[in-house]
A and B are shown apart, each in its own frame.
Chain A
């Protein structure tokens, strides 16, 4: 499969194109999430209106946020480990950009088509935790330290279910390549019934549920927001960050939510493909990103719906949930999927 991009445009041109696309793919969903869900939908849930004054219906609120963050003083606490403190936002945002790489947006629209795509994504996703740990440790604040430690504790709880939940998809698709996973869903069939393909959510709903839970934990969204637990640790690992650096964490949080939902929709919802259309048609190079965006909004809606509704777990309860429920469940799921795959 040859990307149309690589044929017609020289390499540096493609790269620029990709970089711009990557920026858009990271920042646009992040902005949309914050505005639509965090500001507006959350307000509607609570029977209020959310931002209204900045622009029509508050649509320019985000610009104001960014503009303000640029003007805020940058504080390095005296006791902080300055180098690590400064580097933490870089690490967090970098991991998001590495994560977006493997997501396909259409039959020919992708940044890089790695054969080990999903494996790469899972590996890179935990890098942001390192950023969080760095932030927590370097701030020299007790709340930050506890927040960082909690983030690390959380990593060991959800990472395994996340990996194991993906395994079912890999078994069904027979590949680690994200693009091929989409094709496998588009061309697959469920127990012999073809036509609508096989979005893996139908056969892998256990995997999808586990992936969603683990993703929620990875994104530190309630009910798994212990590392930033506001009522306990003030702002957790972000406590000492001000102005633009805080904004970067903020962007990182929601951009990662967007990118993770992209991965979830590629794995379980068929990515850029919609049932009933030929996946090879060139239409999808245009339509694909929009379809994917729609699916992302669907998945993130779930994330935020949980966020509005649920209280927070305690750290040990998350461990219990992960080790006593999610991991055995996902192991069983793998075996069951394997058996079904071989039998059918």
Chain B
């Protein structure tokens, strides 16, 4: 049914489509913990202004989002919700794990209620280190993600889960 899954998309069209995905990453207004504020600074602070890169923080609902920044501590109570919200985003979707807590538990690595890393629940495309990463570090992560999108094979992405956890 889909033109892309069959692998019949011409190369030039694919480049074009990759480019449009690259420059239109609607990101979900959803913060978890401290990093949410630095994410907020990247999104809403005029100094960083993530909209420049085509990352548009308008949607509040996962249905319209292309990307989610997991910004902060993932607790065991929150984990099912994160999984569900990730599932509810339409494909193709991208995940940036921001900060030590989301990467692997961070300061709460020994806590009884914290999930040690969001990549146990959902696949992650880019890990941004920091506690919290400064907004420009998140921007670096976004630029890195955009490069990946530019070079990615749509067919592969469409058909399977393209990013193997921890690969």
Instruction: Tell whether, in the assembled complex, residue B63 and residue A51 are in contact, meaning their CB atoms are under 8 Å apart.
Output: no
Q: Any chain B CB within 8 A of the CB of A64?
A: yes
A70 CA to B90 CA in the complex, in Å?
Answer: 12
B64-116 CB contacts (< 8 Å) to partner A: 64, 66, 88, 90-92
Q: What's the minimum C-beta distance from A163 to chain B, rounded to whole angstroms?
A: 32
Q: Any chain B CB within 8 A of the CB of A243?
A: yes
Q: Any chain B CB within 8 A of the CB of A72?
A: yes
Q: Any chain B CB within 8 A of the CB of A239?
A: yes
B41-55 CB contacts (< 8 Å) to partner A: 46-47, 49, 51-54
Instruction: Tell whether, in the assembled complex, residue B90 and residue A64 are in contact, meaning their CB atoms are under 8 Å apart.
Output: no
Q: Any chain A CB within 8 A of the CB of B24?
A: yes
Instruction: Tell whether, in the assembled complex, residue A246 and residue B63 are in contact, meaning their CB atoms are under 8 Å apart.
Output: yes
A75 CA to B65 CA in the complex, in Å?
Answer: 12
By a CB distance below 8 angstroms, the chain B residues around A51 are 23, 51-52, 54
A51-85 CB contacts (< 8 Å) to partner B: 51-54, 58, 60-61, 63-75
Give the residue name and chain of the A residue nearest to B19 (CB): A64
Instruction: Tell whether, in the assembled complex, residue A47 and residue B20 are in contact, meaning their CB atoms are under 8 Å apart.
Output: no
Instruction: Tell whether, in the assembled complex, residue A71 and residue B17 are in contact, meaning their CB atoms are under 8 Å apart.
Output: yes
A147 CA to B76 CA in the complex, in Å?
Answer: 32
By a CB distance below 8 angstroms, the chain B residues around A73 are 90-92
Instruction: Tell whether, in the assembled complex, residue B63 and residue A71 are in contact, meaning their CB atoms are under 8 Å apart.
Output: no
A333 CA to B47 CA in the complex, in Å?
Answer: 48
Give the residue name and chain of the A residue nearest to B60 (CB): A234
A52 CA to B64 CA in the complex, in Å?
Answer: 22
Q: Any chain B CB within 8 A of the CB of A153?
A: no
Q: Any chain B CB within 8 A of the CB of A241?
A: yes
A275-300 CB contacts (< 8 Å) to partner B: none
Q: Any chain A CB within 8 A of the CB of B164?
A: no
A10 CA to B49 CA in the complex, in Å?
Answer: 53
Q: Any chain B CB within 8 A of the CB of A324?
A: no
Q: Any chain B CB within 8 A of the CB of A230?
A: yes
A29-49 CB contacts (< 8 Å) to partner B: 39, 43, 46-49
Given contact pairs A43-B49, A64-B22, A235-B63, enumerate 11 new A-B contacts (beta carbons under 8 Å): A48-B51, A48-B52, A64-B21, A64-B23, A65-B20, A67-B21, A68-B21, A71-B92, A73-B91, A238-B64, A241-B63
Q: Can you give 24 A-B contacts (C-beta < 8 A)?
A: A43-B46, A49-B49, A50-B52, A51-B23, A51-B52, A52-B53, A54-B24, A61-B54, A65-B20, A67-B21, A69-B24, A71-B4, A71-B17, A71-B20, A73-B91, A75-B63, A230-B60, A231-B60, A235-B61, A235-B63, A238-B61, A240-B61, A241-B63, A243-B90
